[in-house]
Structure 1
């Protein structure tokens, strides 16, 4: 039976509803306005590469791009599932190419970048969305260093290697965008997600440094601190089954808004509040996190020998 969410968990997951009202807009189709530009205009003559495109946020983002008439390069491990997503994208008026790749393989990532550039001529928008999450207390990971290695490999190193592979072409064209799908957890730092949060925090820091270097190259780095999303990645966490979460389509609204408005960050207000609280009253936020940690336990799945990849 899932445990009741404690005060800190409620604070974090309540951001889902707040994000819907304040920080996001609906998933776009051609003609729908996102700020100053409609999505179809933002995607005109541009190619978007989306990782983790076979399900969840990545699949929903691909559908939104297709509905707006855009071109999307779909990346994930499952060729069959990618073919299904591509068919849906093309049926809605978009264009799609399929790239089955294991993003934990660095050489495969290099080949992917070369293939995408050769096939499309350019990649204008990179959406680093693929990821994995592990919910386990640090004390239960002392003999499982691979928890951190595997999470960092996909969430951080894969995204960085993709960025390095596509950045030179963006600089040459003097236009591009890198959208890093991070997590609200980077700011709330919920216990038991040390591997996941640390990997996303590393990606956030990389994006900050990169943006300073390419500021005059016409390249924008956007970090999305995504709230809780109802995807297969959170299904093993029983405590999340009864709490609010946004849908993959709503999460894709964050990504499409980022593509249109090209903001530096998209962060729900609760994340901003926790970030400020950590600066001025760190003892209070430590106490809140500890209360949250003490009120729940590692799940049976997290105590098992293997973890389900995202």
Structure 2
């Protein structure tokens, strides 16, 4: 599997000097910073000289990441915030200093079939709040300052947004797709005002988010450090998106076989429903 991982996910070229020019001395707001991709990215950007504002819900772990950044010579402050709580998001916005770069990395993954979710409206509500409402609110609030400072927004999205949605992932897919469409729609206006906006369409990343799904133990996946370098490269290039080299072909093929995919999905649901 490591060989297949290297083929599917080549390591991106990333110049330490260029990354330092892109983020050094700039204030970076990073959500979902306490674990996985967020933790790896915080350490990477801290070494590059960014002034980090680290946001996550788990205060103890967030403090530990902040301490690790500082111990390595970086600058960081931790702000514990539950981004599913609109009042907490507003309080966070009110307390923020001027921000140069927003990396929207926080996300909630949920795998639950439709019939198991019919009595659980919170499955949709909480997922939408974290994956769509909160990042859209942050971009909206920070937008004027980002425009004045020639800033940047990077969204951490999933490659499967560009593929047919699988059964069991309705709440997750819909919430991530909502913010992806929202950012793509406002991107021309942001770019016209001097604000770069990009999306990292990441494949599977081996974090605690995927741990509950045992099937993922046997499939190729990026490491959090690799994913962090992909995001950092977007910060350097200020491009509109990054996606795996094979995703365009996979998306085209999936569109061609959509009827077959839907029949297979129904058959799967009958067996597992």
Structure 2 matches for 1:31-110, cutoff 5 A?
32-33=15-16, 38-110=18-90
Cα offset, 1:294, TM superposition? 5.0
The answer to whether the 8 A contact 2:30-2:52 is kept is yes
> CA–CA distance in 2 between the matches of 1:126 and 1:192?
30
1:269 paired with 2:245, answer: yes
CA RMSD of aligned residues (A): 2.4
Q: Deviations over 1:231-275 (max 9, x none)?
A: 111111111122221111111111111111111111113332232
Cα offset, 1:82, TM superposition? 1.6
1:237 paired with 2:213, answer: yes
Runs of 5+ consecutive residues of structure 1 not aligned to the other structure? 1-9, 299-310
Per the normalisation by structure 1, the TM-score is 0.80
Find the residue that maps to 2:9 and give its secondary structure: helix
Runs of 4+ deviating beyond 6 Å: none
Cα offset, 1:295, TM superposition? 9.4
Name which of 9, 17, 32 aligns with 1:20: 9
Q: Give the direction of change, closer, same or farther, for the CA distance of 1:260–1:296 in structure 2 (3 Å limit).
A: farther
Per the normalisation by structure 2, the TM-score is 0.90
Q: Deviations over 1:160-182 (max 9, x none)?
A: 11111111111223x11111111
Which residue in 2 is equivalent to 1:6?
none
Find the residue that maps to 1:48 and give its secondary structure: strand
Name which of 169, 177, 194 aligns with 1:201: 177
Cα offset, 1:289, TM superposition? 4.6
Once structures 1 and 2 are overlaid, which stretch shifts more, 134-143 or 280-289?
280-289
> CA–CA distance in 1 between the matches of 2:249 and 2:18?
31
Structure 2 matches for 1:1-310, cutoff 5 A?
17-21=6-10, 24-25=11-12, 32-33=15-16, 38-117=18-97, 122-173=98-149, 175-188=150-163, 189-287=165-263, 289-290=265-266, 293-294=268-269, 297=272
Q: Give the direction of change, closer, same or farther, for the CA distance of 1:271–1:88 in structure 2 (3 Å limit).
A: same
Q: Deviations over 1:192-234 (max 9, x none)?
A: 1111111111111011111122222111111111111111111
> CA–CA distance in 1 between the matches of 2:112 and 2:52?
35
Once structures 1 and 2 are overlaid, which stretch shifts more, 95-104 or 140-149?
140-149
> CA–CA distance in 2 between the matches of 1:262 and 1:15?
29
Find the residue that maps to 2:218 and give its secondary structure: coil
